[in-house]
Amino acid sequence: MNAFFLIIIGLLLVSGLFDIIPWKFNAWALVLAVVAWAVMAYNQFVQLANRVKEAWSDIEVQMKRRYDLIPNLLETVKGYAAHEKGVFESVTQARAQAIGAQTMQEHAKAENMLTGALKSLFAVAEAYPQLRANENFLELQRELTDTEDKIQAARRFYNGNVRDMNTMIESFPSNIIARMFSFMAKEFFELEEGEAAARQPVQVKF
């Protein structure tokens, strides 16, 4: 949109310089072009801001679903490996920190901790064949995997919209509208380990 606006302004200026169109018409055309572009730029900022909010809401829904699955998963594993208290406490603590996270950085850090704790929990499960065959455990594992896939998809959608909005905020001349109406750059929701590493299961050998 910025490039289109600059092209239109350039054409109007060139037409005025070469007397293709009288200057008084060019002046009005320039004013109208600037106003029309400003309105379109503002509306696009609003649309992008709403998309970012919607995308983050989707992430929160899936993260809440993940948090709700964890207590049932812990209780199932405890039935077969009650002595693994350290792992259970680690998962419980990581879940509590994730639920209490407020800022984007806190969410990212807490999700990394929770992912690591869950890896340890599933590593424990590998040592108990009866647990791995338990239907409730398998169903919870499937639901958790499905939820994590949805979180990753929602995160990519969120980051894509944040990228588009930040690019528009930083680009000229749309950055003028951003400053005028206080549209601020958004933070990306990034995992320190990276998406592939965060989802890779722990390999345990006995």
Residues 6 or more apart whose CB falls under 8 angstroms from that of 136 comprise: 72, 76
Class of domain 52-199: mainly alpha
The pTM of this model reads 0.78
State residue 12's pLDDT score: 53
pLDDT at 173: 85
CATH 1.20.1440.20 in the chain is located at 52-199
How does pLDDT run across 85-131, given as a tens digit for each residue? 899 999 999 999 999 999 999 999 999 999 999 999 999 888 888 98
3-class secondary structure, 188: coil
Alpha helices in the chain (DSSP H): 2-17, 23-78, 85-100, 104-125, 129-132, 135-170, 174-180, 195-199
Residue 196 to residues 156, 185, 192, 200: CA-CA distances in angstroms? Answer: 13, 26, 11, 6
Rounded distance between C-alpha atoms, residue 63 and residue 151, angstroms? 7
pLDDT surpassing 70 at residue 206: no
